Structure 1
Amino acid sequence: MKKKVAILGSTGSIGQSLLKILYKNKSDYEVKLLSAQKNYKLLFRQANIFKVKNLIITDKKYYNIAKSKKNKSINIYNNFEKIEKIFPKKIDYVMSSIVGIDGLRPTIKIIKYTKTIAIANKESIICAWNLIKDKLAKYNTKFIPVDSEHYSIWHALNNNIDSQNVKKIYLTASGGPLLNIPKKNFNKMKLNYIVKHPNWSMGKKISVDSSNLMNKVFEVIEAKKLFNVNYDQIDILIHPDSYIHAIIYFKNKMISIIAHDTTMDIPIANTLDRNKKNIYLFKNNSFNLNLKKLNNLTLKKVNQKKFPLTKILEILPEHNSLFETVLVSANDKLVDLYLNKKIKYIEISNILFDLINSKEMKKFKKMYPKKISDIYNVHNIVQLKINSIFS
């Protein structure tokens, strides 16, 4: 029997990578739902290839355009409110890869309708892990992290999130395109250079986050929440080759080093079915250790003068709070302003520090996210605050 699959954010890089894997295993999987924000043309092509009958397009304008052009055999929805109509009973697997805070509500909504959920939407985990965890327990849904670093840790911890034997976790960062550029020259670098990651093929927003290590700050917050450790148990190491993804130092003095080739196909395919022998990745016979990389490992501490955003980790509360939403929302808005050439590159970090250190935002460190609306309310407050700065 075919496994039933849904992909939230199927037109993004994670979604497209998963669909390529599914395409080479079409006899084993049936895609029940695809979603996108605006890119209805690509969504239609994907639906045609996989014979998908249910699509969600969340942008009202593009939803209306798609409705006027759709095939009669396809159901198109504008939001996730009709999800119970699409899934009368639990499906096997959902990939949640919608980018940004917009992915939070769909992620939490769909947990009820799937046996397994793989979450690539880091904003959901950072802002609402306590809410997600409650839903997972309530509906007996299995969770798997998708980021290469977090999947590596999860894999090393024997496919669970029990970290009681962990002394220290090290996440690696390539250092991005600015690793060997003097900080004084950051503002001189063109946007095309900033978003061209040396190792990974990613969207523009996450590429900017990677260039100043904000993405790694987010990954540390994710790891802290997912594996129930303290911030002082997690560190970042610069590793330009991106071959090692995580290092775990256990309390019994053993060390696990998790490495794999620089492709998201590996964690994505393994979240889909890590025990399947004929899955796309394992059809490739060219599996050899990269001895050149292993024999020339370069691992070093982060230069905080060059990448000051990593200092944010020193001011974060150990408990779940709405301050994490402040951080995510402010960064999202500032990166968007940079991508639209409204602010300079260095202003992303400068304005971000000013904002999160303000009395108005620091108060959220003492506030706990009890429901989804709490998170969206803070998100709106932060967005309005930044808009007022530039109005």
Structure 2
Amino acid sequence: MVQDALAQAGYPDRVLVACSGGPDSLALAAVAAYFARRGHVDGHAVAVGAVVVDHQLQPGSAEVAARTAETLAELGLNPVLVRAVDVASSGVGPEAAARDARHAALEAAAAEWDAAAILLGHTMDDQAEQVLLGLARGSGTRSLAGMRPVRGKLLRPFLGLRRADTLEICRAEELDPWHDPSNADPTFARSRTRVEVMPMLEEKLGPGVAESLARTAAILQLDADYLEEAANNTFAQLAERTGTDISLPEAALNELAPAIRFRVIAKAAADVGGQQPSYQRLLAAEALLRRKGSAGPVELAGGVSVYRLSLAQLLDEPGGEAERGGSGVPRGSARCGKLVFRLQKPTRF
């Protein structure tokens, strides 16, 4: 599987394995070490190193990172980098904050060593949990598509393996993996899904639930990719820029299939500097298309306002009469019949 992943990535000549010391990533490191000792994959030269990220969230985390680094060096990986990170309280939740800090450290380590790929040890069980969590949140296609096997520099060659398989690899290689206590901590939704929900589903529905959820993710990845490409092309065709504002013509939006229309609206919000809107906020913004005259603003995540501006409102604005062009039409009237997206400047006191 590692061989296939590297082939899919174009046979990078330098690869880093992200390893926490847990069974999944340690098993991945052991498999990758085989190619490190050979020095090539399918005849393509490759050097394999590793990076251990210490999140500093648990007592003794530095010792765990040091032991893991020692094991990785014994496997033959070189270099072995250890990076300690500070997990910021950014309001996105502890798991998401830790993931953001970890990915930033991995990208920095890859840049430092000029590695073209980073191997991650996520398994089929992780993918199944991801899909279940997306279902629980009421997420859309992209979230339910789970983790991608290849995303930029990130490669996940073990998405076809069960967690039990990685434990078996560790036993076969006589490795003693570290078991993160947070994986059984009911405080975290992912841990509850792993320890309680998945076993219950396997018991009540029969074996094969993880495989079915992972297969669902693979199918939805194809759908999500198609919809994303269609939305990107449509947004590029429709978006009109006036300063930092973006306008989308209502007539063209109304002709779009809803799946594309919602994505185009979300892209406009992101393009002016906002965040991915929630589904409820997208519904509110899309509802402006069915309003007459001026409507809005609808506030979206990240400080973005979207509104429909009518010709009558432009005439009533201060300076509206003075700003008429030679035809007697306000200069801003080009925005009429369009949704306008604007990033609001923060108020200073």
TM-score by length of 1: 0.28
Tell which structure's C-alpha radius of gyration is larger: 2
TM-score by length of 2: 0.31
